[in-house]
Amino acid sequence: MSATDERLTYMANQIAANFAVMGVEKAALATADHIATFWDPRMKQRIMLALHVDAPAGSPLNEIARRAVERLIELGAPLPQVQATTFGGVDEPGLSDAG
Amino acid sequence: MAWIGEIDLGTKPARAATQTMVSLSIDGHAIEVPEGTSVMRAAALMGTTIPKLCATDTLEAFGSCRLCLVEIDGRPGYPASCTTPVTPGMVVRTQTDRLKQLRRGVMELYISDHPLDCLTCPANGDCELQDQAGAVGLREVRYGYEGKNHLKVEKDSSNPYFDFDPTKCIVCSRCVRACDEIQGTFALTVDDRGFASAIVPSQKQDFLSSECVSCGACVQACPTSALQEKKVAEIGTPDRAVVTTCAYCGVGCAFRAEMRGEELVRMVPWKEGKANRGHSCVKGRFAWGYAQHRDRILSPMIRESVDQPWREVSWEEAIARTASEFQRIQAKYGTRSVGGITSSRCTNEETYLVQKMVRQGFGNNNVDTCARVCHSPTGYGLKTTFGTSAGTQDFDSVRQSDVILVIGANPTDGHPVFGSRMKQRLREGAKLIVIDPRRVDLVRTPHIVADHHLPLRPGTNVAVLTAMAHVVVTEKLYDEAYIRARCDWDEFMDWADFVAQPERSPEATETLTRVPADELRATARLYATGGRAAIYYGLGVTEHSQGSSTVMAIANLAMATGNVGIEGAGVNPLRGQNNVQGSCDMGSFPHEYPGYRHVADDATRQLFETAWGVDLDPEPGLRINNMLDAATEGEFKALFIQGEDILQSDPNTTHVAAGLAAMECVVVQDLFLNETANYAHIFLPGSTFLEKDGTFTNAERRVQRVRKVMEPKNGYADWEVVQLVARALGLGWTYTHPSEIMDEIAALTPTFARVSYGALEEHGSLQWPATDAAPAGTPTMHIDAFVRGKGHFVVTDYIPTDEKTGPRFPLLLTTGRILSHYNVGAQTRRTDNVAWHPEDRLEIHPVDAEDRGVRDGDWVALRSRAGDTTLRALLTDRVAPGVVYTTFHHPATQANVITTDYSDWATSCPEYKVTAVQVSPSNGPSDWQERYQAHAARSRRIERLGEPAE
């Protein structure tokens, strides 16, 4: 795994850990939302690829992050917002996330 | 010194909240003024100037000089008009034979102990004593000059910016009062009594070694030449003034740039400035010499590779090279292989143009800004909870605060002018809570002692704030009516259930946070029940792996206690650089357009596509750190950097250097060959804030004009340079003035819809959002409802950072700033501010120092998992055992060699505030420092036309 892949995996796991308090399912959707909203396409592709390369048992992604990436793969990148997080109302004028 | 061209009404306006009007007669003229107004001010308002020396309208009336005497019917004697409030029906005479005689006598005494060197005095023509001598008709001094006097007292020239000449001092106490009332440092006093009275700094020290913070308030208040700017002595008095905005911190002080010809004589804080109310700090007031520093690069330069010397070229060649390199690289490596970085030091207009160039010209969204490494979590956190990526109040709001909670901020150093405002309110009785690992000055400063200081373990902000929330919820200190009316009640209940769990109590988290539980409980109670409670925070909140969570935890607390939407309360980020708010507003982040609208939003994207005439990328671009990652992997090849020194300011310097070194074209637009320029291929000289028009937006959302006071020494304002590059890229921009850029911003950005240069002239400044209902802007946000509708409680679980201490790295390093320097020090290191802080020092607790055999002033090696450096130790109990602290103002130290890649989970804001380190005695610079210094020296060679490399 390259340094960048390690970095992206770390980032995905970190995001997932901060959403974990929402419960696995909702946290996975929120993590997917976050990645879709803030990551550039190359980063999204790399994290999806990382999941494909690693067997689920040995995946460096934690459960929430893995589910999130699976969600991204399922929907295909780039993703529209799935509205799992209330702050990401990109379809409403004037609403998006700074940061 | 006096305010050239400004009217001094002698005393402050009436303080009374009720505007009951009082009618009186002055010199036979009827006048009506607010109750509480002084006779002096009332006279001044009707155009009658009563002679005065110790009075000025920035200070409380003092009544000592006896020059402003008046006669009032029915009152015995001759009361001082400055200390006498008006009363209904009062009949005042300001000029009678008896008054003339008395004033002349007073003035005669003053002048009998004053040097008669007016023609060679620096203040000649700008001296109130001289003016008043004329005003009272002084024609002779009957006492002679042979008697005992002060005319041989030695001048104190220790301060690099101003002299203190006691021979010219009339001991009016204006300087002492300015230091006390305005700045709040209490560094000056009147020593001794009677004839021996003398103004002295601290314990009879010179100014430089005293507690004086060189804010300039005393110099400004002095009515003579006793306290005099050295520049005025050197150049002469100014003959014109232009009002502009300071280019240092996020307070956004308004200044009068006082000029003689094209030469800047002095910067004087503008009384009408709504952010600073006539005050200044050592940086804005005095540290502008960098603009004329010999290190400034004024000619464009290029080179094939970074091991070659720079070669001066024409602007045409540099611009053509920039455009052709980006086009070549994109053709070879793809559209998304290049990007740009905007600067929070540049104007809104310039920032807007850089992001426009990236989106419209490069065809991608790879644009980021230095706010990434400071306040990006503020944007995320406040947008999520409140709906707006900005602070909730104006600075004036602090006057209404009952409780002030400062967390992760050091306002007396980082935002000194607002720090002084805060101290004024604290001296009036507001309660103070400081949450900071260090004992910052605010914790104990003259006439102020924090009610609670929580010296938490670095990295435990969320745990501390959650424990405070635990107290608020479990002790039912929350404002249920407010929450039900303004927030989502179900979300509140979810949050309340979470924070109320026993494991989040102060007692349960005490071992983790190192904050005593009873102290934390008392703090929470004070915040929740002490009245209007305001939270001010800085980078000690944002620059953590949970920076965004901390911002949201702060917002949760404020909403739970009903402290949003009212004056005196709110959540207030103190922005580090002058235009952090503006650069974020202008669409500098890779996922959003100006006005914080996501690039994936079809309607917004179509708006910009129509305006700019191109198809725009609907996918977010790369953040700075991801650009560098991609560069090291060979996928990101060119970067346009305006006014930002990422090599010195960003974390893990070795990684930044590797990323820059891997690029084929790095363009740096800056005033100086900064550290990043050591890895650059094209250098485009920048212009200072004195040399261009534009706007900055400060921490209170206040858009203010930056006005050109001199022509750009490099030939072009920064916005013009970006336009030249854009034109070379084929974009066809035709802006002739920054006002046209602002018009485009306003047309495309709802929150800026009413912002124009015309409106700024009319109102002086505008706090966005400016609406039809509030054309001058919105001082307090979320008054009736949150911008997002219902306030959004977010459950913020404490996730410890992965940066851990252990046997190899047992100490925690946290970094920060100091009063005399700004950011990476590129500007302030090129001024006399180095007199106060010539090098970065490592603050270490005496116990930790003793364990390691380190004495005060010793060189020490500072090592982390990322790298190592050396610097000198400063032993202090300001930091707790186990914690060390340093600044990052000096490239010789390169403090960011130490900091790691860990960053905020939501925004990638680096975790500057927590690095596990070890400290040990050292004999000299680290290998990295030696290698880097050699590289920097090689990289800065310049081949000037017709000359060999320097």
DSSP character string of A38-75: HS-HHHHHHHHHHHHHS-GGG-SS-HHHHHHHHHHHHH
Residues in A touching B591 (Cβ below 8 Å): 37-38, 96-97
CA distance B434 to B344: 27
CB-based contact B813:B886 (threshold 8 Å): yes
Residue A25 falls inside a structural domain: yes
Burial B443-461 (b: 16+ CB within 10 A, else e): bebeebebbbbbbbbbbbb
Same domain, B492 and B355: no
pLDDT band per the 50, 70, 90 thresholds, residue B18: low
Task: Indicate if the pLDDT at residue B929 is higher than 80.
Answer: yes
> Which pLDDT does position B441 carry in this prediction?
96
Note down the domain range covering B359: 301-374+581-694+709-752
Task: Indicate if the pLDDT at residue A86 is higher than 80.
Answer: no
Q: Is the peptide bond before B34 cis (omega within 30 degrees of 0)?
A: no
pLDDT band per the 50, 70, 90 thresholds, residue B932: confident
Same domain, B452 and B496: yes
> Which pLDDT does position A59 carry in this prediction?
66
Same domain, B522 and B599: no
Residue B131 falls inside a structural domain: yes
| Token code pair at residue B530 | 């002490």
Number of domains composing chain B: 5
Residue A60 falls inside a structural domain: yes
> Which pLDDT does position B251 carry in this prediction?
97
Give the gap in angstroms from C-alpha A57 to the nearest C-alpha of chain B: 23
Interface test with A, best of B369, B372, B588, B629 (most A CBs within 10 A): B629
Given B272, B292, B312, the domain boundary residue is B292
Tell me the mean pLDDT in the region A12-35.
96
Q: How are beta strands B665-670 and B682-685 bridged, if at all? A: parallel
Residue A11 falls inside a structural domain: yes
Residue-wise pLDDT for B175-188, tens only, equals 999 999 999 999 99
Tell me the mean pLDDT in the region B481-510.
98
CB-based contact A95:B387 (threshold 8 Å): yes
| CATH label of the domain that carries residue B418 | 3.40.228.10
| CATH label of the domain that carries residue B902 | 2.40.40.20
Residue A93 falls inside a structural domain: no
Q: Tell me whether residues A96 and B598 touch, CB distance under 8 A.
A: yes
> Which pLDDT does position B666 carry in this prediction?
98
> Which pLDDT does position B771 carry in this prediction?
80
CB-based contact B579:B275 (threshold 8 Å): no
Interface test with B, best of A8, A11, A18, A19 (most B CBs within 10 A): A18
Interface residue ranges in chain A relative to chain B, Cβ cutoff 8 Å? 2-4, 7, 11, 14-15, 17-18, 20-22, 34, 37-43, 78, 80-81, 86-87, 90-91, 93-99
Residues in A touching B618 (Cβ below 8 Å): 78
Q: What are the backbone angles phi and psi of residue B490, rounded to the nearest 5°? A: -65, -40
Residues in B touching A17 (Cβ below 8 Å): 799, 905
Mean pLDDT of chain B: 95
Residue B6 falls inside a structural domain: no
Residue B258 falls inside a structural domain: yes
Out of B360-364, B454-458, B649-653, B919-923, least confident range: B649-653
Residue-wise pLDDT for B236-279, tens only, equals 999 999 999 999 999 999 999 999 999 999 999 999 999 999 99
> Which pLDDT does position A75 carry in this prediction?
82
* Stretch (H or E) spanning B746: helix B738-748
B626 in reach of chain A (CB within 8 A)? yes
> Which pLDDT does position A88 carry in this prediction?
34
Residue-wise pLDDT for A29-58, tens only, equals 999 999 999 999 999 988 988 776 554 455
Residue A86 falls inside a structural domain: no
Q: What are the backbone angles phi and psi of residue B529, rounded to the nearest 5°? A: -120, 5
Same domain, B412 and B386: yes
CA distance A5 to B423: 49
> Which pLDDT does position B772 carry in this prediction?
82
Tell me the mean pLDDT in the region A47-71.
79
> Which pLDDT does position B926 carry in this prediction?
85
Residue A83 falls inside a structural domain: no
Residue-wise pLDDT for B555-575, tens only, equals 999 999 999 999 999 999 999
* Stretch (H or E) spanning B530: none
Residue A85 falls inside a structural domain: no
Note down the domain range covering A17: 3-75
Percent of chain A with pLDDT strictly greater than 90: 51
Interface test with A, best of B368, B552, B797 (most A CBs within 10 A): B797
At a CB cut-off of 8 Å and minimum separation 6, what does B353 contact?
A: B719, B722, B723, B726, B733, B741
Residues in B touching A81 (Cβ below 8 Å): 600
Residue B144 falls inside a structural domain: no
Task: Indicate if the pLDDT at residue B4 is higher than 60.
Answer: no
- The full length of chain A comes to 99
Q: Which amino acid is at B677?
A: A
Same domain, B319 and B452: no
Tell me the mean pLDDT in the region B414-432.
98
Place of tokens 């005050």: B279
Number of domains composing chain A: 1
Residues in A touching B622 (Cβ below 8 Å): 40, 42-43
Same domain, B564 and B429: yes
Same domain, B169 and B284: yes
Residue B683 falls inside a structural domain: yes
Q: Tell me whether residues B591 and A34 touch, CB distance under 8 A.
A: no
User: In sequence order, what are the beta bridge partners of B156?
Assistant: B164
CA distance B323 to B327: 6
| CATH label of the domain that carries residue B176 | 3.30.70.20
Same domain, B408 and B496: yes
Task: Indicate if the pLDDT at residue B5 is higher than 70.
Answer: no
Task: Indicate if the pLDDT at residue B944 is higher than 90.
Answer: no
CA distance B551 to B378: 6
Same domain, B380 and B449: yes
* Stretch (H or E) spanning B739: helix B738-748
CA distance B351 to A20: 37
CA distance B218 to B10: 16
Place of tokens 């929402």: A22
* Stretch (H or E) spanning B931: helix B927-939
CA distance B247 to B351: 14
> Which pLDDT does position B888 carry in this prediction?
86
Nearest CA-CA partner of B686 in B657, B718, B663: B718
Residue B861 falls inside a structural domain: yes
CA distance A3 to B59: 60
Same domain, B421 and B554: yes
Task: Indicate if the pLDDT at residue B48 is higher than 70.
Answer: yes
* Stretch (H or E) spanning B327: helix B315-333
Residue-wise pLDDT for B727-761, tens only, equals 999 999 999 999 999 999 999 999 899 999 999 99
Q: Tell me whether residues A4 and B545 touch, CB distance under 8 A.
A: no
CA distance B416 to B538: 13
Residue B703 falls inside a structural domain: no
Residue-wise pLDDT for B314-355, tens only, equals 999 999 999 999 999 999 999 999 999 999 999 999 999 999
* Stretch (H or E) spanning B147: none
- Rg (C-alpha) for chain A, rounded Å, is 13
Residue-wise pLDDT for B689-733, tens only, equals 999 999 999 999 999 999 999 999 999 999 999 999 999 999 999
> Which pLDDT does position B896 carry in this prediction?
85
CB-based contact B562:B342 (threshold 8 Å): no
Residue A63 falls inside a structural domain: yes
| CATH label of the domain that carries residue B595 | 3.40.50.740
Same domain, B602 and B556: no
Residues in A touching B365 (Cβ below 8 Å): 40
Same domain, B276 and B309: no
Q: Tell me whether residues B797 and A96 touch, CB distance under 8 A.
A: no
Residue B789 falls inside a structural domain: no
Q: What is the DSSP string of B826-847?
A: TTGGGSGGGGT-SS-EEEE-HH
Range list of β-strands (E), B287-374: 301-302, 310-312, 338-342, 367-369
Residues in B touching A38 (Cβ below 8 Å): 591, 620, 906
pLDDT band per the 50, 70, 90 thresholds, residue B776: confident
Given B573, B596, B620, the domain boundary residue is B573
